[in-house]
Amino acid sequence: MNRDPLSLIETVLRKNIELFIAEKHLRHACLYSVLAGGKRLRPQLVLEVARLFGGNENHALEVGAAVEFIHCYSLIHDDLPAMDDDDLRRGRPTLHKKYNDATAILAGDALLTMAFEVLSEETAHPDPMIRCQMIKHLSSAAGGSGMVQGQYEDMKLTPHFNAEDQDHIIAMQANKTGALIAVSCVLGALAAGQSHDTILDTIQKYGFHIGTAFQLKDDLLDIESTSAALGKNTGKDSAAGKATLPALIGQEKSYKLLSHHIEMAQMLLEGFSAGKDSSALSKLTSFVRERNC
């Protein structure tokens, strides 16, 4: 078997779309968005945490695909005119530009729903209790007390934020971006049969620091990078008066904060991976700070 994580992940993403989305045009729309590149950070975190704990790779790939489907739905809906109104994503026209708004809404809905169908299958884990736990964790991270809550808070903060809103912005981003990243780490551990509360709690904290660092870097790239490098429009956050930490505390302090979160994540990783080979996770953790796309 090809051990390259990205191609393993892509194969499982394609397989599930072809298996679960029967309507031909909707299936093509989902394939267009999901197989358009993308860093696959979330499924890689699931896979590498599961590998760390000696989990079955095939289960972890299914679980990672479920998280990536939720991530892709959120990008499709986030790009709609009623939300961020973007025309470029992963270097291509956004789904509603390529097709139309209704198709983009329905493709997002199909991906969101399919995530839970994938997690409910035995291919995600043979133990139904573990499948149930994973569904519970993912639904609460993605829903109205997680990612969707964060998106709503973001709308409320923009463009009326001020210096007192730093904690609000951090909490909003922990939901909007951090919840899905943190749950990816926890799901990797659950998929590998890890059930120790203290370890799961430490992994959740590790994911929180990665998520916070990831969003900080995302906001810095929006200021400093180009559309060609990122495959999405840049400079939109400040134009729209978006509530971001670089807008509030400046780029220099944001870089310091980014490094702090990466160091915290590496420290927690050392703790829960003692005696195991954590080099792949450590590399992924550093990538969050170093990335240019």
For 12, 38, 60, 123, 158, the CA distances from 30, given in Å and listed in that order, are 14, 14, 22, 21, 30
Binding segment (CB under 6 A) for ligand GRG, from list 69-77, 130-138, 235-243, 246-254: 69-77
Largest pairwise CA distance in the chain:
53
Partner residues linked to 88 by β-bridges? 93
- Shortest Å distance, C-beta 78 to ligand GRG: 4
Least CB distance to ligand GRG at residue 275 (A): 31
Tokens of 222: 């929006």
Cα(164)–Cα(99) distance, integer angstroms: 42
How far is it, in rounded angstroms, from Cα 286 to Cα 242? 26
41 contacts ligand GRG (rule: CB under 6 A): yes
- Asked if residue 33 binds ligand GRG (CB under 6 A), the reply is no
* Contacts to ligand GRG from residues 231-290, by CB under 6 A: none
Task: Say if residues 283 and 212 touch (Cβ distance below 8 Å).
Answer: no
Whole-angstrom Cα distance, residue 121 to residue 98? 32
Contact residue for ligand GRG among 148, 170, 248, 257 (CB under 6 A): 148
Number of other residues whose CB lies within 10 A of the CB of residue 126: 10
Q: How far is the CB of 268 from ligand GRG (least distance, A)?
A: 21
When binding is defined by CB under 6 A, the residue of 96, 125, 176, 289 that contacts ligand GRG is: 176
Applying the rule CB under 6 A, the residues between 73 and 102 that interact with ligand GRG are 74-75, 77-78, 80, 83, 90
Angle at 177 between CA 272 and CA 48, to 5 degrees: 35
Considering beta carbons, is residue 234 or 273 the nearer one to ligand GRG?
A: 234
Of 5-13, 21-29, 146-154, 255-263, the window that binds ligand GRG (rule: CB under 6 A) is 146-154
Binding site for ligand GRG (CB under 6 A): 38-39, 41, 74-75, 77-78, 80, 83, 90, 147-148, 151, 176-177, 215, 218
